[in-house]
Amino acid sequence: MRDIRPFFVNLQARGLIKNNPLEEYTEKLVNVADDFVTEAGIQKLMDLENLDRKNFIDVRGRLACLLAYDYCLRIGEISLLQVQDVDLTQEFVRLTLRPEVQKGQGKLEEQIWSCFRQTKEVLTIYLKLRAELKPETDFLLLSFNGKRLVVDGCREAVQKCCSSLGIVTYKGETRVKPHSLRHSHGTLNIEPLGVGWSLSELQDRLRHRNIRTTKEVYVQNNPMLRKLRHEARMNGNGGIAHSQPVSNHSPSHDFNVGEMEAVRELGELKIQWRALRSYGLKNEVVRQIGGRFFVSRTFVDELRNDWVLREKVLGLKGFGRRRFLSWVKEKGFETLMIGRAVLMKKEDLMGDLLG
């Protein structure tokens, strides 16, 4: 209706019609569900160290959250998923959305792949626990008595999981709605943030009928993009500046770790994505490829395996930051700073502790 209204306005202005049939038409405004879980909350969700892998309720709640965030599923869609819709045979989990699962009518079957390794890990754990219930139904999410978990149950599972992890929304809500997690995916992963979806890719991911909805919600009204633009402007960049030219080539065999995935793998080192990008571009261990940022797998593995966070050293050695600085200088130990994260070699630490 919006698109054809100017046509009638033009006809009326030229005197070809007397009345505009759409004169009383009021355009439906985009319903902006503008609350979301911030990056800090998503990191808690992705940290599987705090997951009780033997607790069916705990694992089910985490899975419900990941289905909403990783796949951008609506709560009604989550409740209708079946085990047959899940394919764990690939590196990233393929999810089949049957027409009857999706919101609205006239939808085609779609296949969606996960973006984050945690999804496959939690799904694998959950399916083993689910099998122990010996359910008679194929629905994926079950109650503890082996029956399908309906919409209200799925919603409660998400809220309890987020509450137990201390996750709050951008606006400070403690009862996290499943739709806020779906909204978080778009807010935190539109380029150049996170996964780096282009506008059309994000529209496809969210399964929006109209790209205007995607643009208005996740570009024009995205507080994270506004903050990033402001920071860039205050730094004298005049906008979001890319330190590397955009390439049309696929990532090489080494630059194959998405930026946010690298941050999650390095969770124990407390490295923020902005700091990782800045350090990585400067030291050529991060590349921008096709509008997205990729981190060298070799670099990620080296950081995770060979370096330790200063705060962990302080706990083991029992002294403060000032003493840490004089200690590493006195010993000649190598340190590395990525943003606010100060690291030292595990080998040096272990040698000192054992020596």
pLDDT at residue 249 is higher than 70: no
Note whether 37 and 167 are within 8 A (CB).
yes
The mean predicted confidence, pLDDT, of the chain is: 85
Q: So what's the pLDDT on residue 86?
A: 95
What pLDDT is stored for residue 168 in this prediction? 93
Domain with CATH 1.10.443.10 in the chain: 39-189
CATH of 39-189, one of 2.30.40.10, 3.40.50.2300, 1.10.443.10, 3.90.420.10: 1.10.443.10
| pLDDT, position 245 | 31
Whole-angstrom distance, CA of residue 197 vs CA of residue 211: 13
- Give me the pLDDT at residue 156, please: 96
Q: Shortest CA distance to 124 belongs to which of 80, 91, 151, 98?
A: 91
pLDDT in the model for residue 318: 86
Mean pLDDT within 279-289: 88
- Sign of the Cα torsion 244, 250, 254, 258 reads positive
Q: Output 354 or 89, whichever has higher pLDDT.
A: 89
Helix (H, G, I), strand (E, B) or coil at 265: helix
**Rounded Cα–Cα distance for residues 200 and 213 (Å):** 11
Summarize pLDDT for 161-186 with one digit per residue, the tens: 999 999 999 999 999 999 999 999 99
Q: How far apart are the C-alpha atoms of 247 and 250, rounded to whole Å?
A: 8
Helix (H, G, I), strand (E, B) or coil at 125: helix
The 10s digit of each residue's pLDDT in 181-205 is: 999 999 999 888 888 888 899 999 9
Determine what percent of the chain is predicted with pLDDT higher than 90.
Answer: 46
pLDDT digit string, tens, across residues 70-92: 999 999 999 999 999 999 998 89
Quote the crossing angle between the two packed helices 151-164 and 39-46, to the nearest 10°: 100
pTM attached to this predicted model: 0.61
Determine the pLDDT at residue 2: 52
SS3 label, residue 195? coil
